[in-house]
Amino acid sequence: MKLLVLAYTNEECTIRIEDTNPAFVNSLRRIIIAEIETVAVELVEITVNDSPICDEMLAHRIGLIPLVSSNIHLVSPSECTCASGQCSQCTVTFEINYTNTELTPQSIYSKHLQPVSDFAHQYKPCFDDILITKINPNSSLKLKAYAQKGTGSDHTKFNATCAVEYHFEPVILLDETIDQQPLHIKQELVHSCPQSIFKLNEQTQCIDIEDTDKCNYCHSCERLCRKYKLPDDILQVKPDESIITIKIESIGSIPALQILHQALNKLMYKSQILLAQNQLNDLMIL
């Protein structure tokens, strides 16, 4: 198996995996969605809420604010030995204490979520401009927010990604007889592709394939061939399931490439456990 990083930023990365299969890549995708650990607000204690949003909706909006989770030192609440479930080992605390002293309504953003407990600044909101609510003049919003570690299988707010998708390597087969077709058919074939994959060579009047990676399996070219009743094997578009490109889009809490590394480590760990169990079962049978 060969893994090649085609492009990456903190927000997204594109990886090409060769000599693989859909089962492996889908397992990787499911781990990325459900098992990557992040930090999110679990509990909100509201003291004063003069905003037009009710307490429940306000708590929901705060819980969905992504927090920086690239270097987590917190213990999972289920593994913590504290009685309250909100000690410094498993919980970080933020607060909003805002009073509008202006003459016009003011907006409260994620930047107003200030760290209170130790190390809470390490898990600050990923973006400062996420709108939480608005308040009128002489109004206040006072609350405390308690953030803990979790995974996407616990709640979608812990999901580190906004999208994870993969597609198979397109394989486009052109028979030589395609170049023997009338010019108007070849021109129509070139223009039928929305991704401009085909190009008509002006000198040789032959059809060339420029970039198969752009193919999105719309099959417009194959429909055109059926329209003119051309042989089925004159043009074929099919996927190569041994070469898969996967794209990961992060919500900002963890860099996209780090999400991939964590998912691969978790998949390797699960594979080792499964292999050890199979070996143990074989010994028991013997």
Q: What region does 27 belong to: left with phi over 0, alpha with psi -120 to 50, or beta?
A: alpha
Tokens of 279: 């070996």
CATH code 3.30.70 region(s) in the chain: 176-230
CB 108 within 8 A of CB 141: yes
Q: Which CATH code fits 176-230?
A: 3.30.70
Among 250, 70, 76, 53, CA closest to 147: 76
Q: For 230-259, what is the HEC assignment?
A: CCHHHEEEEEEEEEEEEEEEECCCCCHHHH
Domain 1-36+159-170+239-286: CATH superfamily, name plus number: RNA polymerase, RBP11-like subunit (3.30.1360.10)
Backbone φ/ψ region at 234: left (φ over 0), alpha (ψ -120 to 50), beta: alpha
Instruction: HSE, CB side, 13 Å, CA atoms: give it for residue 15.
Output: 23
In the chain, residues under CATH classification 2.170.120.12 are 38-158
User: Which one-letter amino acid corresponds to residue 250?
Assistant: S
Q: How far apart are CA 256 and CA 12, in angstroms?
A: 5
Phi, psi at residue 57, to the nearest 5°?
-70, -35
Q: How much is the pLDDT for 114?
A: 94
Task: Give the strand pairing for 235-250 and 161-174.
Answer: antiparallel
Whether residue 57 contacts residue 76, with contact meaning beta carbons closer than 8 Å, is answered with no
pLDDT category, 83, cuts 50, 70, 90?
confident
Mean pLDDT of 238-265: 94
Q: What 8-state DSSP symbol labels residue 58?
A: H
Q: What is the pLDDT of residue 155?
A: 93
Residue showing tokens 């169990």: 277
Provide the 3-class DSSP secondary structure of residue 18. strand
pLDDT at 156 over 60: yes
* Three-state secondary structure call for residue 126: coil
- What is the DSSP code (8-state) at residue 191? H
Percent of the chain that is helix, strand, coil (3-state, to 5): 30, 35, 35
Hey, CA dihedral for 98, 103, 106, 111, is it positive or negative? Answer: negative
CATH 3.30.1360.10 in the chain is located at 1-36+159-170+239-286
**Is 71 in contact with 258 (CB distance < 8 Å)?**
no
Report the alpha-carbon distance of residue 17 to residue 23 in Å, rounded: 13
Mean pLDDT, residues 48-70: 95
For 38-158, give the CATH class.
Answer: mainly beta
- pLDDT tens digits for 183-225? 899 899 999 999 999 998 888 888 999 888 889 899 999 999 9
Provide the mean pLDDT of the chain. 91
Name the residue with higher pLDDT: 92 or 286.
Answer: 92
